[in-house]
Structure 1
Amino acid sequence: MLARITPINAATAESEGHPQTMDGFLAQVERRAYRTALMTTRRAADALDIVQDAMLQLVQHYRARPQEEWPLLFQRILNNRLMDWHRQQTRQRKWFWQSARADDDESDDPMLAVADEKEINPADLLARARDVERVIRVLEALPLRQRQAFTLRAWEGFDVAATAQAMECSEGSVKTHYFRALHSLRAALSDDEPSQRNNPGGENP
């Protein structure tokens, strides 16, 4: 169930006061990182390559950095690799370029940027889903930047500022992408509610 999805900062808080090794950190994040990469690539081999490359870069360049910096550094590397993969695929399929730009608009929406994030609580929203796979299918259909903003904010537990650093964009863009993702997810999950109310026990009509 969705309760298994634990933000990085929540997980590390449980071991506060105990130094974390790089191997331990990578073991902690690799499954979510793979799932995030797979949602973008939809190819197991590509997703595995991207995650392994991101981990290798973290180890090679940032092993000596303080452990509290590892989550943000890793997510920045991972998101950059995913953006590189996305751009490469777009170049290979030029006919897709216009629709990709329209769906993945990077411009800030001033109305969304000032909206109160509490009006849509992702924990409450996700609790309405019947299983993780349902959420994954909805997220797979989102534009890349919306998916990145959602996974960093709702799954990894990053605040707006840290998410903006990881995505290398403005905080306004993060809020825009995040709210669009939340609204899309809420609409998709709301479609399930009538059938659940009419058939609460899951029995065949």
Structure 2
Amino acid sequence: MASQAEIEYRDFVTSNLDRLCRFAYLICHDWQRAEDAVQKSLTKLYLHWNRIRSSSPHAYVRRIIVNTLYEERRRFWFKREHSRDELPDVVQPDHAESSASKLAMLESLARLPKRQRLVVVLRFWEDLSVEQTAEIMNCSTGTVKSQTARGLQTLRGLLGKPIPTQVEGAQP
């Protein structure tokens, strides 16, 4: 029989898995790497679940995902592959304009330097405060503010239009 901690862990994973995968994807812009990073992170989270389950598991797992993705990039054997088993879904005509703007935003986001991309994702997709973002990034609040300003300025230049303070469609 499963313990209360195991039940809480399963409930946490079940209710947050999609959101965590989207979060990781927005950082690395590769679904396979994102899913791998989330899987590794959830394994690490499970090992420490009893200690952190009553505090802030969301912040803890986000931090693990960020660290996992950055550690992976530092390894010398890492190479980026883009293999697909299936064709992408066909965009329906009535959603084409909305989908095109979201794709443009995702492509522009992928072109940001990694720290700017991370701060934009944490602040606007995950809707975290400056302080929470600084904690996850292990930096000062001033760094978060400057990276946010630079990231938004770069996005404006890439998209050629103003960036809203809340990105449309960011929340599930």
Shorter-chain TM range is 0.5 to 0.7
Q: Partners in 1 of 2:106 and 2:45 — Cα distance?
A: 26
Cα distance in 2, alignment partners of residues 49 and 165 from structure 1: 23
Per-residue deviation, 1:57: 1.1
Q: Which amino acid aligns with 2:56?
A: E
Structure 2 residue 26 is the aligned partner of structure 1 residue 56: no
Distance 1:191 1:85 in 2: 34
Residue identity opposite 1:37 in structure 2: A
C-alpha distance in 1 between matches for 2:128 and 2:113 = 20
Is 2:5 the counterpart of 1:29?
no
Does structure 1 residue 71 correspond to structure 2 residue 41? no
Q: Distance in 2 between matches of 1:173 and 1:65?
A: 27
Alpha-carbon deviation of 1:35? 3.1
Structure 2 unpaired stretches of 5+: 1-6, 80-97, 163-172
1:141-160 superposed matches below 5 A? 141-160=111-130
Which residue is equivalent to 2:153? 183
Distance 1:39 1:66 in 2: 25
Instruction: Tell me the matched-pair count.
Output: 138
Q: Distance in 1 between matches of 2:158 and 2:119?
A: 18
Show CA shifts across 1:122-153 (max 9, x none).
xxxxxx99632221111111111111111111
What's the CA shift string for 1:168-204, capped at 9, x where partnerless?
A: 1111111111111111222233359xxxxxxxxxxxx
**Equivalent position SS for 1:131:** helix
Using the TM superposition, give the Cα deviation of residue 47 of structure 1 relative to its aligned residue in structure 2, in angstroms: 2.3
Choose between structure 1 and 2 for higher RCO, CA contacts under 8 A separated by at least 6 residues: 1
Quote the Cα distance in structure 2 between the aligned partners of 1:130 and 1:164: 32
Contact (CA 8 Å) 1:22, 1:63: kept in 2 or not? no
Are residues 1:81 and 2:51 paired? no
Counterpart code for 1:145: R
Counterpart among 113, 135, 148 of residue 105 in structure 2:
135
* Aligned counterparts of 2:161 and 2:129: Cα–Cα separation in 1: 29
1:41 Cα shift?
4.2
2:142 partner amino acid: G
Is 1:161 aligned to 2:148, yes or no?
no
Residues 176, 49 of structure 1: CA spacing in aligned structure 2 closer, same or farther, 3 A cutoff?
A: same
Match of 1:172 among 131, 142, 148: 142
Cα RMSD over matched residues?
2.9
Q: Point out the structure with the larger helix share.
A: 1
User: Contact 2:27 / 2:118 at 8 angstroms: preserved in 1?
Assistant: no
Whole-Å separation in 1 of the counterparts to 2:108 and 2:15 = 24
Report the TM-score when normalising by structure 2. Answer: 0.66
